[in-house]
Amino acid sequence: MKNEILCYSIGALLYCPANNENIVHYLINEKFGTLFSLALCLEDTIRDSCVAEAEQQLIHSLKQLHKESQIKDFFMPHIFIRVREPKQIKKLTLQLGQAISIVKGFIIPKFSLENADSYIQELLETNEHVTQTLYMMPIFESPTIIPLNTRYDILYGLKEKLDSISQYVLNIRVGGNDLCHAFGYRRHSSESIHDIKPIFNILSDIITVFGMDYVVSGPVWEYYNGEGWDTGLRNELNQDRLNGFIGKTVIHPNQIPLVNEAYKVSKADFEDAVSILNWDSNLKGLVSGSAENTRMNEYKTHSNWAKKIIILSHIYGKSEF
Binding region for Mg(2+): 178
Whole-angstrom distance, CA of residue 258 vs CA of residue 222: 14
Nearest one of 245, 6, 259, 260 to 135, comparing CA atoms: 6
Neighbours of 92 (CB within 10 A): 22
Q: How do 248-250 and 135-140 pair as beta strands?
A: unpaired
Whole-angstrom distance, CA of residue 187 vs CA of residue 221: 9
Whole-angstrom distance, CA of residue 129 vs CA of residue 89: 11
The residues, any chain, with a CB within 8 Å of residue 87's CB and separated by 6 or more, are 122
Q: How do 171-174 and 135-140 pair as beta strands?
A: parallel
What is the signed CA dihedral for 78, 79, 85, 86, rounded to 10 degrees? -60
Whole-angstrom distance, CA of residue 78 vs CA of residue 87: 22
Q: How do 78-82 and 37-41 pair as beta strands?
A: parallel
The residues, any chain, with a CB within 8 Å of residue 315's CB and separated by 6 or more, are 5, 8, 9, 11, 263
Where would I find the H helices in the chain? 4-8, 23-28, 51-71, 87-96, 116-127, 148-163, 176-183, 197-210, 229-242, 256-262, 267-277, 299-316
Q: Which residues are annotated as a binding site?
A: 178
Nearest one of 18, 124, 142 to 80, comparing CA atoms: 18
Nearest one of 229, 216, 225 to 171, comparing CA atoms: 216
